[in-house]
Amino acid sequence: MALPEEANRIADDIRSMRIRGAGLIARSAVEALRIVAERSKASDIDDFMKDMNNAAQVLLETRPTAVSLPNGIRYVMHRVSTQRPAATSVGQIRSATIKAADEFIDSAKNAVQRIGEIGARRIRDGDVLLTHCNSSAAISIMKTAWAKGTKFKVYVTETRPRFQGRLTAKELTGAGIPVTLILDDAVRYFMQEVDKVVVGADAITANGALVNKIGTSMVALAAHEAKVRVFVAAETYKFSPETMIGELVKIEERDSGEMISPGALKEIGPVSVSNPSFDVTPPEYIDLIITERGIIPPLGAILILEEVFGIVTPEELREYQTYALHEEA
């Protein structure tokens, strides 16, 4: 079965970054799975599972760095696979799939709200904050603190080349928060005025390193140099189980056209263009990670992985990586 038009559009929007932000990517991918489950015309359970596995594979290939995406898909597919032996009809397995998708989407939305409530306690009256890119979890912290009456201002980087920071500036300004939009290159210049850096995450590794929008590591480096605390807002489904056995998070290389038009590049001459979408901030530049389960130090990431995913051995990880995402012989 080909993906329904609506599900295929979601996959294209994730791939092209019309849908952006790790949390929204995960929720959208799971919503696409839900659509496939609803629209599948399979007459037996095996064919239904083939439709779901096909959709899962298509979605997994859209954004390689967004760990939240495979974690969301695996959340749904694992629950579907465990229900399959007891299912006696397509209707039963379809209902199990839809229920799992709804559970993940609701949990993800609640996680952002909970992170906002927990993180808001760390913001003080008179603080000057700095944020990079466009993170719903980081924004939730700032908007929640402001709604509770805490007064502060925020420096927001433009976040080139796609200017996601402008989206953040618009949302914060809409909440009444004083915002100053700055060039990415100006972070070190303004850091002397900053009390706290608040950023989101695309992935957290087992050793507590942060994978986030390109430029985040330079922000954290400038903060470290200036002795400014760095807070990372991250839902637990952004933690990467694969890194428990030494696998690296793949850094996505985006099209050069995001940086420079083909015409302008031709004028420059025969140069190559590299446009990585993310970078890695080492754990020693991070003060704390704010999750929906509470605040942890970077080195506590391994405990979150063990608690949330129940993975403590390479064999368990391999099972987690592969279950329900491949057709059975």
CATH of the domain at 304: 3.40.50.10470
Q: Could you tell me which of 296, 122, 139 has the C-alpha nearest to residue 196?
A: 122
278-281, strands of its sheet edge to edge: 203-204, 210-213, 278-281
Per the domain annotation, does 162 fall within a domain? yes
pLDDT band at 38 (very low <50, low <70, confident <90, very high): very high
Beta bridge partners of 291: 294
Residue-by-residue DSSP string for 106-156: HHHHHHHHHHHHHHHTT--TT-EEEE-S--HHHHHHHHHHHHTT---EEEE
Q: Is 185 a catalytic residue?
A: no
Digit-coded pLDDT (tens) for 101-149: 999 999 999 999 999 999 999 999 999 999 999 999 999 999 999 999 9
pTM for the complete prediction?
0.82
Per the domain annotation, does 288 fall within a domain? yes
3-state secondary structure of 134: coil
The structural domain count of the chain equals 2
Cα separation, 297 vs 174, in Å, equals 32
**323, pLDDT greater than 50:** no
102 and 127 share one domain:
no
Per the domain annotation, does 327 fall within a domain? no
pLDDT band at 242 (very low <50, low <70, confident <90, very high): confident
What pLDDT does 326 receive? 44
Cα separation, 220 vs 56, in Å, equals 35
Cα separation, 73 vs 16, in Å, equals 19
Q: Could you tell me which of 297, 305, 118 has the C-alpha nearest to residue 203?
A: 305
47 and 161 share one domain:
no
15 and 89 share one domain:
yes
Instruction: Characterise 246 by phi-psi region: left (phi > 0), alpha (psi -120 to 50), beta (else).
Output: left
Cα separation, 216 vs 159, in Å, equals 9
85 and 119 share one domain:
no
Is there a contact between 21 and 134 (Cβ–Cβ < 8 Å)?
yes
First to last CA, the chain: 18
Per the domain annotation, does 209 fall within a domain? yes
- Which range marks the domain in which residue 70 is found? 5-113+313-322
23 and 124 share one domain:
no
Digit-coded pLDDT (tens) for 211-233: 999 999 999 999 999 999 999 99
77 and 119 share one domain:
no
90 and 193 share one domain:
no
93 and 163 share one domain:
no
Per the domain annotation, does 144 fall within a domain? yes
237 and 301 share one domain:
yes
What pLDDT does 317 receive? 61
CATH of the domain at 32: 1.20.120.420
Q: Which of 133, 195, 255, 279 is catalytic?
A: 133
223 and 137 share one domain:
yes
Per the domain annotation, does 204 fall within a domain? yes
Q: Is 51 a catalytic residue?
A: no
Question: How would you class 182 by CB atoms within 10 Å of its CB: exposed for 0-12, middle for 13-18, buried for 19 or more?
Answer: middle
Least confident of 105-114, 132-141, 247-256, 319-328: 319-328
Beta bridge partners of 233: 290
**199, pLDDT greater than 60:** yes
118 and 101 share one domain:
no
What pLDDT does 312 receive? 54
Per the domain annotation, does 223 fall within a domain? yes
143 and 282 share one domain:
yes
In the block, tokens 């998708």 appear at 101
Least confident of 20-34, 207-221, 238-252, 260-274: 238-252
Q: Which of 127, 184, 202, 287 is catalytic?
A: 202
Per the domain annotation, does 329 fall within a domain? no
